[in-house]
Amino acid sequence: MALRVQLTDQQSAAREEYEAFAREHVAPKAGAWDRDEELPEDFFTTIGAAGYLGAAVPATYGGGSLDAICFGLLNEEIGRACSSVRSLLTVHGMASRAVARWGSAAQREHWLPRLATGAAIGAFALTEPGAGSDVKGLATEARRTADGFVLDGAKRWITFGRRADVYLLFARLDGRETAFLVERTSPGLQVTPVPGILGTRASMLAELELRACQVPAEALLGRPGFGLSAVAADALELGRYSVAWGCVGLSQACLDSSLDYAGEREQFGVPLRDHQLVQRMLADMATGTSAARLLCQQAGWLRDAADPQAVHATWLAKYYSSTTAFRSATDAVQVHGAHGCGAEYPVQRYLRDAKVMEIIEGSTELQQTTIAHTAYHSRRAAAFRPAADRRATGPAERTMTV
Ligand SMILES: Cc1cc2nc3c(=O)[nH]c(=O)nc-3n(C[C@H](O)[C@H](O)[C@H](O)COP(=O)(O)OP(=O)(O)OC[C@H]3O[C@@H](n4cnc5c(N)ncnc54)[C@H](O)[C@@H]3O)c2cc1C
């Protein structure tokens, strides 16, 4: 069985649909949304009506139940047009998936049809003032009451926190890491916008303050103690996958813009694209984008096959795609010269957005240490296997041995 890089007819048709949606409804407005630092309310209706907010919701609850490749293509095409909108797909998808995977029947019935249409927007609230990369530093406390829980603590940098109706939020219950579904209207929850963020400026970031915040007993999601190891880990896995594909789109956008500009702009009597040092930048963008897309496809293929190596493949994809997007964006600004620094071209936005991609969903350094750690242990495990077993027998073995 060969590694499939060819999309099925259905996946190709889906890609065309996503690309057309992004071209019509997202790309022309992305610059203005970035300046306004928000998405307009009617856009939530538009993207909800297209069905894209239901990508991670099972079909039985009104969602699109997209396969991993289609979900990736959606993130690529939206990410090519606007990283803030792709961020919406990411965090809303993370919250949706958590409810679908860990929710009780009642929680699924209540939330999933709303999340599928965008009638409710979901967000992911894990980071705290003292808990960033090290999520074990989680300090938000939950206490049981007669009819539910009371939460005390703070959450930082919550994407679409300003707009969300429900937060997938993590706290300690009796010292154990636990997931909750906290409604925005919960008494004791204060939502404060975070203006002036470097990139994904339209992703409506907020801080959450929970002061004796009351939530009902039904807010508990999954079992106490499984909040980080199961609920957050699984949601972050999807988030990382979504960001990785979004970075492919972002890198492609850098290439598209640079090719157009280098073809139009002349210096020293020839178009920029005829200068070999400019060609080097275009070549690196084209190669990096293709390689990132292949790593994302590999991760998607393994996810669809429910292969446990999908986790590691997603780390590889996110690490490579985000660093590639940043390099492509830096080169894209360089190719555009002064115009690359101005507001007329989108590449300055791409550069700001790309820097954020190296920080969210596991920073570049966390990806590097995790990938190196896994590679080391794979190598050690291989050394202890009998020689006959060490022969690669299929694409997963060949592609995942690092
Ligand atoms: C635009 C944006 C949107 C976000 N959206 C959300 C959201 O929706 N929900 C949410 O919960 N959070 C969100 N975050 C927070 C994000 O997840 C954190 O920023 C991220 O986890 C890193 O944590 P930190 O910023 O506290 O950095 P720190 O953990 O303090 O790290 C700072 C630096 O030290 C490095 N470092 C840390 N530990 C190590 C190590 N062991 N080895 C090597 N280097 C290390 C990091 O790589 C980084 O370069 C968002 C952040 C941004 C910027």
* pLDDT in the model for residue 335: 98
Which residue has its alpha carbon closest to ligand 1 atom 18? 132
Residue nearest to atom 4 of ligand 1 (CA): 157
The residue contributing the CA closest to ligand 1 atom 25 is: 132
pLDDT category of residue 384 using cuts at 50, 70 and 90: confident
Q: Is 390 a residue whose pLDDT tops 90?
A: no
Q: Tell me if 183 sits within 8 A of 168, measured CB to CB.
A: no
Average pLDDT value over all residues in the chain: 94
Q: Is the pLDDT of residue 399 over 60?
A: no
pLDDT at 101 > cutoff 50: yes
Average pLDDT over residues 256-262: 98
Hey, what's the torsion of the CAs at 178, 371, 11, 116, to 10 degrees? 10
* pLDDT above 90 as % of the chain: 91
Calpha distance 89→68 (Å, rounded): 14
Q: What is the DSSP letter of 292?
A: H
Ligand 1 pocket mutation, candidates 323, 363, 371, criterion most atoms within 8 A of CB: 363
pLDDT for the residue 363: 96
- 197 CA closest ligand 1 atom index: 1
Protein residue with its CA nearest to atom 27 in ligand 1:
132
Report residue 224's pLDDT band, with 50, 70 and 90 as the boundaries: very high
Query: For atom 41 of ligand 1, which residue has the closest CA?
Result: 366
* CB of 155 closer than 8 Å to CB of 184: no
- Pocket probe mutation, ligand 1, options 169, 243, 360, 370, max atoms within 8 Å of Cβ: 360
Q: For 335-363, what is the mean pLDDT?
A: 97
Q: Distance between CA atoms of 216 and 214, rounded to whole angstroms?
A: 7
Does residue 44's CB lie within 6 angstroms of at least one atom of ligand 1? no
Max Cα-Cα span within the chain:
79
In the chain the domains, ranked by start, together with CATH numbers, are: 9-121 (1.10.540.10), 123-224 (2.40.110.10), 228-400 (1.20.140.10)
How does residue 396 score in pLDDT terms, banded at 50, 70 and 90? very low
Summarised one tens digit per residue, pLDDT across range 17-29 is 999 999 999 999 9
Mutation test of ligand 1: which of 84, 126, 127 has the most ligand atoms closer than 8 Å to its C-beta? 127
- How many angstroms separate the CA atoms of 335 and 347, rounded? 10
pLDDT at 237 over 90: yes
Residue bearing the CA closest to ligand 1, atom 23 = 132
Judge whether residue 307 has pLDDT over 90: yes
CA 77 – CA 55 distance, rounded (Å): 14
What is the rounded distance in angstroms from the CA atom of residue 29 to the CA atom of residue 200? 14
373 lines ligand 1 (CB under 6 A): no
Residue 167's DSSP bridge partners are 123, 182
Q: Does the pLDDT at position 87 exceed 90?
A: yes
Q: Are 227 and 179 in contact (CB under 8 A)?
A: yes
User: What pLDDT, in 10s, does the model give residues 196-218?
Assistant: 999 999 999 999 999 999 999 99
DSSP bridge partners of 266: 271
CB atoms closer than 10 angstroms to residue 391: 8
Ligand 1 atom nearest to CA at 200: 1
Q: How confident is the model at residue 398 (pLDDT cuts 50, 70, 90)?
A: very low
**Polymer length in residues for the chain:** 402
The predicted pLDDT at position 388 comes to 62
- The span from the CA of 119 to the CA of 48, in Å, is 8
Q: How confident is the model at residue 162 (pLDDT cuts 50, 70, 90)?
A: very high
Residue 125 pLDDT > 50:
yes
Residue 387's pLDDT band, with cuts at 50, 70 and 90, is: low
C-alpha–C-alpha distance, residues 362 and 158, integer Å: 15
User: Is the distance from the beta carbon of residue 27 to the nearest atom of ligand 1 less than 6 Å?
Assistant: no
Rounded to whole angstroms, how far apart are CA atoms 104 and 94?
Answer: 17
Closest atom of ligand 1 relative to the 198 alpha carbon: 1
Q: Where are the alpha helices (DSSP H) in 24-104?
A: 27-36, 41-49, 68-81, 83-102
90 lines ligand 1 (CB under 6 A): no
The residues carrying an active-site annotation are 361
Eight-state DSSP code of residue 8: P
Phi and psi for 359 in degrees, rounded to 5?
-110, -40
**In this structure, which residue's CA is closest to atom 43 in ligand 1?**
365
Ligand 1 contact via 298 beta carbon (within 6 Å): no
CA distance 46 to 24: 11
Rg (CA), the chain: 22
d(CA 337, CA 231): 45
Q: Is the CB of 132 under 6 A from ligand 1?
A: yes
Element (H, E) at 173: strand 166-173
Q: Choose which residue among 133, 208, 250 to substitute to test ligand 1 binding: the one with the highest number of ligand atoms within 8 A of its C-beta.
A: 133
